[in-house]
Each structure stands twice: as C-alpha cells, then as structure tokens.
A and B are shown apart, each in its own frame.
Chain A
Amino acid sequence: MRAGEIHALLGENGAGKSTLVKQVYGVLQPDAGSIFWEGREVTIRDPHAARRLGIGMVFQHFSLFEAMTVAENIALGLEERPDRRRLAERIRGVSRDYGLALEPDRTVDDLSVGERQRIEIVRCLLQSPRLLIMDEPTSVLTPQETSRLFDTLRTLADQGCSILYISHKLEEIRTLCERATILRGGRVVASCDPRRESARGLAEAMIGTKLRDVTRPGAGQRAAARPRLQVERLSLAAEEPHGTPLREVSFEAREGEILGIAGVAGNGQGELLAALAGERPADSADSIRIDGRAVGRLSPDRRRRLGLCTLPEERNGEAAVGEMTLWENAILTAYHRRSLVGRGLLRRGAAETFAAQVIERFDVRTAGPGAAAGSLSGGNLQKFVVGREILQRPEVLVIAQPTWGIDAAAAKLIQQALVDLAAQGSAVVVISQDLDELLELSDRLAVMNVGRLSPARPTRDYSQEAIGLLMGGIHGDPAAASPTVA
C-alpha cells in the first residue's frame, strides 16, 4: 500500500480478509512471511505496538464495554491516558468534523449498532493514524452519512494516511477506492482498479464463478392484492432510557409483496420488530392484524400460529442459542408450525429432519443438525435461521438485516428465498439498513426515522437521494421528501 492510498480488500466470508488485517493490527501473529512498515521489516506483537506504529483499526465486531460511557470506552483504546474533560471536547470535535454524531456521556448500553460503530471510528481518528483499517464501516450509515464519511476518508488520504477498506458493498468500493486486492481461500487471486471494473465483475472475481441473479416472477403487479399484515397507529413507549419509542406507525404488507423498511440503526427498527413479534404486547389488539385478525395483544407463539414469523437482527443469543444444537434451535421458533413438540416432549427425529432440510436447502456449511449453533460462522448461522423461518412457510415474514455482513453468494441465496416466499403469496417485510438491497428487493418502501414510519411508496418512485433524506428525518419539506422518478 502506498501512502495516501485508499485500498480495498475484497473477498467472500472466510476468504481470509480478517485474518490478514488482524496480523497487520497485531491481533494475530503470522506463521510465516514478513510485514514491512515504512520501509522497515516489523514484528507487530500486539495492537499496542500497531497503534504506536500509527496503525488504527475499526473492527466489524465492536469491542466496547456496555456499562461504560462513550468517552470511557474511547479512553480505554487510547495509548496515552487522556484528561477526561479534554477528551470529551476532542470527541465532540472529531465527531463534528467528520459528521459522526456522538455524545461522550451516553452509556454504550443504550446505543444502537450504528452509534456503537461511530465510537470505534472516532476512537481511531483521535489517534491520527497513518494507516487506517476499516472493516465494513458503512453498513449502518445513511447514504448522506456515507458520503460524508467518504469525504472524511478522502481528506485523511490527502493528508497522507493510507486506508485499507474492507466492504461487501461493491458500489462503495468503486466510488471510493483506487486499488483493490481480491482474496479467495486465503490467497490473493487478483488485483485491480475497482473504478474500471463493474460491481458484478468484482463479485464474480471474489466468488470465482458467475453470480446468479435474483429473479422476480411478475413483481409489482399486484396492486389489488389483499393485505396480510396491517399495522395501524402502533405506538409503543421506549423500554430503555435512550430507546426509541414507536410513534403511530402504520403500514400494510400485501399478499405477494416485499415491503422494505429503510432507516439508520437505532431509529426504532428494533422496537418495531419486537412489537410485531409480540415480545412486547401493543396497547390495543387492533393495532396489528394478521389476515384481518387482531393480534396486538397476543404472545409471539400465538402470532406464529396465526402465520406471523419474525427474525431479529441479532443472530447469536436471540435468533439462535449458540450453546444448543441446530435441531434444538430449529425447535425454538418452529415447534408449532412444524409440529416439533408433541405431548409436552420434544420430537427430536422430526426436529433433526427439519434442521437437515434447512441445512440442505440453504446451503448451510456445518457438520449436521447435531452441531452447536455457536460453531457456525456468522454467515452460515444467518442462512440457518433465515431458512428456519422461511421453511415454516409463514403467511407474513418480518425479517431484520437479512444479509448483514454475509458474502455476495449467500446474500443472493437468501434474497432469492425471500422473493420466492413472496411469490407463493406471503407478505414479506424486510427491515434493513442496506439501501441497495432494499432497492433491489422491495416492491414498496417506507423509511423509519425517530420512531416514525413514512408512508410506503412503490420502490421505483424513489431515488437514493430521496430515501437518504427521509432517513435523515426530512419529512416536512415536500420538495425534498416527495419521490423523484429515478
């Protein structure tokens, strides 16, 4: 890497990107080979050493203490021990300069995924690094925030800081990066200028085969289709002090359609999913209806019986229990719809068969239904839990971040499965921060901002920019919010 270069590191999940950068950042030690830093061969023993050399890294998985404040967390990652008050000022300064809104005194506990990532970015920027490694930094930002971050990165690069950028968003890489190194199976397979390649070409170089398209039979032709999920003026107080309350959310998802819900993390999407799932009952039964039946006061399992399946963003520990086997995890939500429990006892054989179906149909790489869920990689576990919900053939499926952090081939598989489910007459609601995905998948799109949901409109009526403005909360100005024909 040259000084001041923005360099992309590309590859599927498991291609070795993280292993490589962890060695550069001193988390792992290489078995063989050398690392040269500014012309000298170096041994980077640990992240302290890396930071002293001027190497900073923003991880995909955050290393934050939930019970501590933003400022305390940042202080922990700094090499010198900073003065508390001055640190808070510096944090405010950096977050202002780089457009990364962050309040130093908030407890991490209460922050959304997006806000947590901002802490990591700010923590690195405070150290004025000469090499900044970024692992999927934009997955939780709005397009406007992303472009602001890109401006920041370009400014940093102009100042001579090199940036090693890992992302699955190929369009981003094409706008931002000057060079790309592509890894597959732990080897460098190609090196190119991403600005001269198509996103498709990059993706195919990553997976080493042709990419399959998501095919949509007769999409968007069902304006008169009957609504399967109706949500009317759903309000829900925030559960935690800094949570987002839902404010009169109304929408409907119709037979055969995919409704996308966009929005920056922490704008009430988690609360919406919990309310729809039944984890927290609504104030009035009428505010949520499945096929016309009022279910707002029913428990999650009663709602599942009536056809509403949900999948939260957090895979391990919420959508799945890491310590349990895959067949036990299959029982977790499918016990009624797939009859995996009878006379108060688990039907192990049936559960194993069902888990095996999910594994086969969704190409889950695992030893079998008896493997512990925690032994699967993130992408494979995601395929398993998505498969578990889809194979229950729900009448309504509400799914959060279906493809967050997984590689292109697996993402296509999941997206195709969602499209197929809708084609069979189910209503699918996709809550995501990945706009490209929503634009590709959804028939109609609504945007969440501070607990409110904009009216859903056909996706083709939106431009990226209009969605971005809605995500930023510009509802009032009709000129800005009204859909522009793209």
Chain B
Amino acid sequence: MSVRIERRPAPSRLLMAVTPLLAVALTVVTGFLLFLLLGFDAGRALWEFFVVPVSTLYDLAELGVKAAPLIIIATGLALGFRANVWNIGAEGQLTVGALCAGGLALAFWQQEGVWILPVMVVAGVAGGLAWAAIPAFLKTRFGVNEILVSLMLTYVALLLLSTLVYGPLKDPEGFNFPQSRLFSGSAQLPILLEGTRLHLGVPVALAVALTGWVLLARGFIGFQLRVLGLAPAAARYAGFSRGRLTWFCLLASGGLAGLAGAFEVAGPIGQLVPELTPGYGFTAIIVAFLGRLHPLGIIPAGLLVALSYIGGDNAQISVGLPQAVTGVFQGLLLFFLLASDFLFRYRLRLTAGREARA
C-alpha cells in the first residue's frame, strides 16, 4: 500500500472560497481542545479570545487600529507574491519608514503646522521605498535572492532603530528610558471617533486595499504581475519587463510598509520605541495568504488576525493564558489554511503496489 497524491481534475471554486472559513473553524476547535488540555476554562478562554474583542465600540475601534497596518502591508506584499517576488522584509521597511517619519516629528518637535503630518507620511513612505530598493537593486542587477536580502535587512533596520532610540533620539527628560520624546500634536494622526483610538490610518488602509484590488483585477500593471507569476515565459514573450516589475513590486510593498510604519508612530504609539510592532511586517505575510493574495480578501483576513492579537492579550489577562497563545493561534490558522487548500487541490489516494507512470 502506498499513499499517492494526485491533482483533482477541477477544484471547486466554491470550496476554494470557503477554505479560509474552514481554516478558522478548525483553528477554533483545535484551540478549544488545546485550552482544555492545558487545564484552562476553555469556553471562557474562547469567549475572551473571539467575542470580547468585538463586543464594544472601543474594542471594535481597537480591532481597526490593529488591522490597519496589517491590511496596508499585506496588500503591498500580495502584489509581489502574485508575481513571485518575495519581499519578506516588510518589518524592516516598516521600521525604517517609522524612523524617518518619527525622526521628522522629533526634528520639528513642539512646532505647529498642518504640513508636518503629510511630510511625515511622505518621509515614512520614502524610508520604506529606500529600504526595499536595496533588495530590488541587488535582485535586478546581480540576481541576488530578494528573500534573503529583504529578511536580513529587517535585522539591520531593527538594530538601527535601537541604536537611535538608545542614543541620539532618546528623550532627554525621559529618565534614561530607551524611548524618544512624545510627538507634539501636529505630528499625531487625528482621532476619528471620540473615546477610541481609531485614527486616519484605518480608512486609509481600506482605501489602500481597494486600490490594490483595482490594480490587480483591472489594472494593466496588475495584469502584468499576474502573467509574470503564472507564466514567466509568457511575460517575456509579451514583453513585460521582469526587472521593471520586480522594482515595482518591491517598491510598492516597501512603500506601503513604510506608510504603515509612519501611521504606527504618528498614531497609536506617538513616539519612537525599540519595539514598534508585535511583528506586523511578518504577520502581514500570513494575512496576505489568508486573504488568498486578493486585496478584498485581505481586509477580513487582517481583521481576523488583529482579533487574534487582541484576543490573545485579553485571554492572557483574564484567563491567564500564556502570551505564546497568540502565536500558536496565528500558526494554527496558517497551517489549517495551507492544509485545507492542499486537500482541495489534490486528493490522497491509497493505492496497492507500485505507482504507475504515465
């Protein structure tokens, strides 16, 4: 007996669309069993995890605040992933973007002006672009693997941030804590909903996803990216320049990561700290795939993963679950997504004896 994997002749489109939902359901079930095994009140833990974060207006706003950077970054990454350009270093691009925007905010500290915020946003995007331009240049010029370069540059960026926050950008009146001054009012994103932290970045994230969708589904550049990803030889034959598209993908995803970084420091954080995010740049990779590399799918995927962050914090405080649970949930989600995806595309068949070759 042997197990044989074969492609299903025609994977059902409906099934493919419900895979993410199935993955979520399986994650919840597994989580329930996991909590039971660990000796927690599993029902309450799941309640804290999945229901409490969506129960009040404030909580819903928090969900948006956490989802916004994920959606912005994942949209950029999805463009590249569609074309087989693998930017794994969004976390680094986000960090450099945040550093540029934050540096500007500190440079104009205690100054007033409506121009400060837009300039910060531009600086954030520029920082992300510049950081992503390094792998783009090395890839197109020397054929260096963009996965390695963008990933490694993330650590460079994080160290750069630490160096600055522990050094020149440290708050002179901050009792030697490794953090910068709090930005002044002109350098902070306006709050859209009184009593919450819902900032301008949230609607911008939706706009980014919508723009990404138009670009991919209707735009010529999106068409070129899809052709490059599906059939590189066809892209070459059609005359779509691989180098140009690689630059586009890395710059777009880097710029968006930088934008997310600027929003983070100008929004919920309001200063520069050594740990800006709980790994949004990496988690966005999960979000991109969970959303099937489709910007409209990325919006719910971003909200869901944001839920896992908030729910994880809640469960940690009220039920005493370990912090690692958030990571476990995100991992389970991705695992179930990929597994059900695979089983919908292929089927396993037990065969007797040796395999036949066709």
Query: Which of the listed residues A47, A300, A341 has the most CB atoms from chain B within 10 Å of its own CB?
Result: A300
CB pair A328 B223 closer than 8 Å:
yes
Complex CA–CA separation, A304 to B237 (angstroms): 11
Q: Does B241 contact A (CB under 8 A)?
A: yes
CB pair A344 B221 closer than 8 Å:
yes
Contact A332-B238, Cβ < 8 Å, known A317-B233, A346-B218: yes
For B236, the chain A residues whose CB sits under 8 A away are 279, 318
Q: From A304, which residue of chain B is reached at the shortest CB distance?
A: B239
List which B199-228 residues lie within 8 A (CB) of chain A: 214, 218-221, 223, 226-227
For A302, the chain B residues whose CB sits under 8 A away are 239
CB pair B239 A26 closer than 8 Å:
no
Which listed segment binds B: A319-327, A461-469, A476-484? A319-327
Query: Which of the listed residues B214, B218, B233, B237 has the most CB atoms from chain A within 10 Å of its own CB?
Result: B237
Q: Does A205 contact B (CB under 8 A)?
A: no
CB pair A322 B237 closer than 8 Å:
no
Q: From A49, which residue of chain B is reached at the shortest CB distance?
A: B356
List which A312-370 residues lie within 8 A (CB) of chain B: 312, 314, 317-324, 328, 331-333, 335, 341, 344-346, 348
For A45, the chain B residues whose CB sits under 8 A away are 356
Complex CA–CA separation, A346 to B221 (angstroms): 9
CB pair B221 A279 closer than 8 Å:
no
Q: From B220, which residue of chain A is reached at the shortest CB distance?
A: A341
Contact A317-B223, Cβ < 8 Å, known A47-B358, A63-B358, A278-B239: no
Q: Does A172 contact B (CB under 8 A)?
A: no
Contact A27-B358, Cβ < 8 Å, known A299-B241, A301-B239, A324-B230: yes
Q: Does A46 contact B (CB under 8 A)?
A: yes
Mask, B74-110, CB within 8 Å of A = 1, is 0000000000000000000000000000000000000
For A460, the chain B residues whose CB sits under 8 A away are none
Complex CA–CA separation, A382 to B269 (angstroms): 58
The 8 Å CB contact of A27, one of B221, B223, B237, B356, is B356
Q: Does A48 contact B (CB under 8 A)?
A: yes
Query: Which of the listed residues A303, A310, A332 has the most CB atoms from chain B within 10 Å of its own CB?
Result: A332
The distance from the CB of B210 to the nearest CB of chain A, in whole angstroms, is 14
Q: From B233, which residue of chain A is reached at the shortest CB distance?
A: A318
CB pair A47 B239 closer than 8 Å:
no
Q: From B241, which residue of chain A is reached at the shortest CB distance?
A: A299
The 8 Å CB contact of A345, one of B219, B233, B234, B358, is B219
List which B218-265 residues lie within 8 A (CB) of chain A: 218-221, 223, 226-227, 230-231, 233-234, 236-239, 241
Q: Does B354 contact A (CB under 8 A)?
A: yes
Q: Does A277 contact B (CB under 8 A)?
A: yes
For A300, the chain B residues whose CB sits under 8 A away are 237-239
CB pair B227 A321 closer than 8 Å:
yes
Mask, B329-358, CB within 8 Å of A = 1, is 000000000000000000000000010111
List which A267-295 residues lie within 8 A (CB) of chain B: 277-279
CB pair A46 B230 closer than 8 Å:
no
For B358, the chain A residues whose CB sits under 8 A away are 27, 47, 63
Contact A277-B237, Cβ < 8 Å, known A47-B357, A63-B358: yes
Q: From B354, which residue of chain A is reached at the shortest CB distance?
A: A48
Complex CA–CA separation, A324 to B226 (angstroms): 9
CB pair A346 B220 closer than 8 Å:
yes
Q: From B356, which residue of chain A is reached at the shortest CB distance?
A: A46
The distance from the CB of A135 to the nearest CB of chain B, in whole angstroms, is 13
19 new A-B contacts at CB < 8 Å, known A63-B357, A345-B214: A26-B356, A45-B356, A46-B354, A46-B357, A47-B356, A279-B237, A299-B241, A300-B239, A318-B233, A318-B236, A321-B231, A322-B231, A323-B231, A332-B238, A333-B238, A335-B220, A346-B218, A346-B220, A348-B218
14 contacts between A and B (CB under 8 A): A26-B356, A63-B358, A278-B239, A279-B236, A299-B241, A318-B233, A319-B234, A321-B230, A322-B231, A324-B230, A332-B237, A333-B237, A345-B218, A346-B223
What are the 6 A-B residue pairs with the smallest beta carbon separation, nearest first?
A: A300-B239, A46-B356, A301-B239, A318-B233, A321-B231, A317-B231
